[in-house]
Amino acid sequence: MIMTRELQRATFNRSALVRVLSDTLPEVPDPKYDFGERLGQWLDFSDALTLFSVLNTEAGSGTPIASANSDLPAQLARVRRNLNDSIHNDGVFSTEPARIPFPTPLPNATPESAADFSPYHRYYLAHQRDMNAAITALRANARKALAGHSTAGKQLADLDASFEKFLFTRERNLLSNIPIMLGKRFDQRYAEHRAALADNTADDPTTWTQPGSWLEAFCHDAQTALLAELELRLKPVAGLIAALGGAAEHKETKPQ
């Protein structure tokens, strides 16, 4: 089964998100564990029984209950584009209007108060909520289409639903660490900015939104992490839609 083979080959150190975080924060080590072994540690006995039941449900080509949803690839492209645009259009360093504006120093803020990471933490969490809402809905649509396509499609949809349920808390906890890690990068950027100031030069937070500023560099750091996280979050639903498309193509080309 293609999905099983991909899981066996997958490791977290091949994730673009981990590579981005490793480049941004050199002190982040590459994982040394095998993905399959760690996944086994995350699932308890009841989870294993559920997976056993799903995997041992008799699956065949079956008789299609409903035609494949041909609009799903377009939905995937639209979700990816909308979330990508939302990340790029920050309303500060981009001329496009922002749905989630990148924070800027408040008027008359001191350098110390303006260098508080809290608004940027909330900014990243807002993007994570945005991604989660859009992708969860699309994933549900893909599972529904697969389940209605054939017996084998229903088995794959049930397997995906089980993994989503089992790994939801683990995924949420792991992804919630990303803005915390970016906070270290924020502090590093700010420290480098302060060190580069000439002696007796006042630090004016209003200059932090100018091109080439340390805050612009951090904005790019955050966007890079968000884009990598977006692609990571899209992988399961993209796989479901690809499987649905492959099943539909196989049905069309099958000799009568």
Instruction: Please give the tally of structural domains in the chain.
Output: 1
Mean pLDDT score of the chain, rounded to an integer? 79
Q: Which of 249, 247, 238, 252 is nearest to 72 (CA)?
A: 238
Check residue 30 and report its DSSP letter.
Answer: P
Number of other CB atoms surrounding residue 205 within 10 Å: 20
pLDDT of residue 47: 46
Is 23 domain-assigned? no
pLDDT of residue 30: 53
Is 28 domain-assigned? no
| Range in 11-15, 84-88, 233-237 with the lowest mean pLDDT | 11-15
Question: Over the stretch 180-219, which tens digit does the pLDDT of each residue have?
Answer: 999 999 999 999 999 999 888 899 999 999 999 999 999 9
Q: Which of 18, 41, 37 is nearest to 170 (CA)?
A: 41
The owner of tokens 């900015």 is 193
Taking the whole predicted model, whether its pTM rises above 0.75 is answered as: yes
Residue 188 CA to chain centroid, in angstroms?
Answer: 24
Which H or E element spans position 123?
Answer: helix 118-147
Question: pLDDT tier at 31 (50, 70, 90 boundaries)?
Answer: low
Domain housing 195: 44-253
Measured distance CA(5)–CA(35) in Å, rounded:
12
pLDDT of residue 2: 36
Mean pLDDT, range 144-165, rounded to an integer = 85
Measured distance CA(142)–CA(180) in Å, rounded:
32
Is 39 domain-assigned? no
Is 226 domain-assigned? yes
Which residues have a Cβ under 8 Å from the Cβ of 68 and sit 6 or more positions away? 145, 149, 244, 245, 247, 248
The owner of tokens 């000799």 is 255
